Chains A and B, each alone.
Chain A
Amino acid sequence: MPRRVLLAAALLLSGCVQTRQFADVEFAPPEGDYSLLVMRPDVSVGLVTPGGLVEPRADWTEQARANLLRALAAQQAGRGGRTRILERRDEIAGIDAETVADLERLHQAVGASIAYHKYMGATLPTKRRQGLDWTLGEDAVRFGKATGMDYALFLHAEDSFASTGRVALQVLGIAGCFIGFCAPQGGGGQAAYASLVDLRTGEIVWFNILQTQSLAPGIGFGDIRTPEGAAQMVERLLGRMKAGRNVRARQ
């Protein structure tokens, strides 16, 4: 019995916050006088149904988006950067919505490739030990010249919260440990990524993925619907930007 109790206790306390970043070998985190364009952030917040499906919630999503944008502007100002946040595709004078959409789609494809080859284990032999080696090419450089910005940041954030039914299920799953049937159930959690593009070279110079998950009912690791939770996510995602390998070697 004590072992079972220990197991239940361990599960109750388990859950984690994980980030994993990659940078171009020559990447130096932007500091001082730089300009950053935040591309329209892709945010979605939902409710975890008892069956484990995530049901998107419009009001929560709007709240979280507003909080994240505020937190992001504040965080970047702290580094000395001038931040401009795009909320719509058609709000840069002289650049049509279609050009912005094309860049977003291009980044979507390249970002998926980074996720696949850097995070999901399908390592490319030709890119081993070379840091982050992906580019958006000339399109991004042209976009940088037209906007006059130094960097573009692409941001995607998801958060979800367990419904009452799901929490009940989580309780049952852990309570079951006491009678020998341990079936911990996932509750809500966060998943986010940030991708920094140097618009002077077109290269994706830095990429980070954040994940939080909790098996314990009622316990989460931040709530981006609140200003504090959003600031926490921004800090976890962008706060500890590490320089590239060559840059660190020279320091």
Chain B
Amino acid sequence: MSDLPLTRRMMLGGLGCACCGGLAAPAGARIPPGSLRPVVTPGYRPVDADEQGLWQQYRRVEEEIAGSNLLIRDDALARYLGGIAGRVGGPAAKDLRIYLAHVPEFNAFMAPTGFMVVFSGLLLRMRDEAQLAGVIGHEAGHFLLRHQLRAWRDMKRKTSALTFLGMAAGLGYGATGIYAGGLVQLAQTGAILSLFAYSRELEAEADAMGVKQIAEAGYDPAAMPETWQSLIAETEASAAMRRKRPRRGYSLLATHPAPAERMADLRLSAREVAGAGSTERGRDRYLAALGEHRRAFLDDQVKLNDPGATLYLLRYLASDGWNGLLRFYEGETWRLRGEAGDNLLAGRSYAAAVAYPDAPAEAWRQHGYQLLREGRRDEGRAALRRYLALAPSAPDAAIVRQSLAS
């Protein structure tokens, strides 16, 4: 604001602009993980009146969330997630609660009272426990640094300053006839943008805190930038298939830093915190904990009608090796897109799927019908029989039997 041509008359007119200098906080610099210390202690309880009020409101929110029918109720999985939070939660390890919501989107959020909501779409996108620990560590970072309270205080401060500024300018106009409305508007815009910048700064802090926490817990910190790299690639793949330009995820109004920036910062930070003991990835453990849910989450994803993102995601997950499940859903993605030639691509995926021992029964059904369509009658019928043998009481078993009889 300082390079605006402020005349003395304007200053006399009641518009002191000193307050806006403090409003526009710079954002964007990387925060070194080593510079952060948790500010909460085990069993932390709010002390100040504003934080107590915030906690009281969020206790009610948590009660609602805990009783929501969107939650995935699986005690073993809940214990598993709680265990990771216990490892990366630092001083809050015993206080963090995680709720898993059935929402097919890549997201998670942290409440100021120490509970976290993780979406099922996020679990689908994780390749191993280290990546998941990175996300949980990031969210825990918000709690460890009491970010929600800081954001609230920041907003209080800025809205107050603006309201007084507006009043001063108005009174100045009344008293002296000098109109400063334009400048007030500019200050308002500046302050609103600075609220978003502040939010980005907090996100960057949570990234830094998270990467530090997971490295200290023995996980490979390089897992964290991978998540952003993959998110960027998924966004681009989704846009490319729809022949749209991808959203870069960066604007003055963004509450989170752009993924590309986060990835770059996290890579540097990961290198800083990496130690000899932090190499754990926990892939097998992660897949075992996810169990049958992975299939359900893939099912949700396929139905989002976003073939670009889904195909990207399947290939990303398959970088640890293809299997029957991933190939089957690759086929489903092509089949549901249904453009010219997609049924051939789908057929190829189903054929590949049934070559794996873990192919879902439905892969045999789809493979069978595809073979029949190609005129390979005996092979097709054999595949359908295989489907019936694997899933004799499937809802569509009768109709499949009918097509075998004809």
Q: Give the interface of A toward B (CB within 8 A).
A: 44, 46, 49-53, 55-59, 61, 97-98, 101, 165, 169, 172-173, 176, 179-181, 183, 185
Contacts and interface: CB of A to CB of B under 8 A. Distances in A.
Interface string B59-75: 00000100100000000
Contact of A52 (B152, B159, B161): B159
Given A58-B49, A180-B174, A98 B67 contact: yes
B357 interface: no
A179 B163 contact: no
Nearest to A177: B174
Contacts of A181: 170-171, 173-175
A97 B192 CA distance: 42
Given A97-B67, A169-B164, A55 B57 contact: no
A143 B57 CA distance: 27
Contacts of A49: 156, 159-160
B51 to A, nearest CB: 9
Interface residues of B, number: 27
Contacts of B382: none
Contact of B167 (A44, A101, A179, A183): A183
A225 to B, nearest CB: 14
B311 interface: no
B191 to A, nearest CB: 10
Contacts of B49: 57-59
B392 to A, nearest CB: 36
Dominant SS among interface residues on chain B: helix
B159 A53 contact: yes
11 contacts: A49-B156, A51-B160, A51-B162, A53-B159, A56-B53, A56-B56, A58-B49, A58-B52, A179-B174, A181-B174, A185-B167
Contacts of B171: 172, 176, 179, 181
Nearest to A100: B67
Contact of A59 (B52, B159, B163, B166): B52
Contacts of B50: 55
Q: Which 10 A-B pairs have the closest CB atoms?
A: A51-B159, A181-B174, A56-B53, A50-B160, A179-B174, A58-B52, A58-B56, A51-B160, A180-B174, A181-B170
B39 to A, nearest CB: 20
B164 A50 contact: yes
B27 interface: no
A180 B67 CA distance: 55
A58 B45 CA distance: 13
A51 B163 contact: yes
A160 B159 CA distance: 18
Interface in B172-207: 173-175
B316 interface: no
B212 to A, nearest CB: 32
B57 A44 contact: yes
Contacts of B163: 50-52, 169, 185
B55 A58 contact: yes
B156 A46 contact: no
A97 B63 CA distance: 11
B54 interface: yes
Interface of B: 49-50, 52-57, 64, 67, 152, 155-156, 158-164, 166-167, 170-171, 173-175
Given A52-B163, A180-B174, 10 more contacts: A44-B57, A50-B163, A51-B163, A56-B57, A58-B56, A61-B53, A101-B64, A176-B167, A179-B174, A181-B171
A45 to B, nearest CB: 9
Given A51-B158, A53-B156, A58-B56, A179 B175 contact: yes
A179 B171 CA distance: 8
Contacts of A55: 50, 53, 152, 156
Contacts of B174: 176, 179-181
A169 B57 contact: no
Nearest to A170: B167
Contacts of A173: 167
A173 B173 CA distance: 13
A50 B152 CA distance: 14
Contact of B170 (A44, A53, A61, A183): A183
A56 B156 contact: no
Contacts of B57: 44, 56
Contacts of B155: 51, 53
A76 to B, nearest CB: 25
A59 B46 CA distance: 13
A56 B48 CA distance: 12
Contacts of A98: 67
A55 B159 CA distance: 13
Contacts of B64: 101
A1 B354 CA distance: 90
Nearest to B158: A51
Nearest to A181: B174
B340 to A, nearest CB: 45
B187 to A, nearest CB: 13
A181 B166 CA distance: 12
B164 to A, nearest CB: 7
A112 B140 CA distance: 34
Contacts of A172: 167, 171
A228 B405 CA distance: 82
B172 to A, nearest CB: 9
A180 B170 CA distance: 9
Contact of A176 (B55, B161, B170): B170
A97 B64 CA distance: 11
Contacts of B158: 51
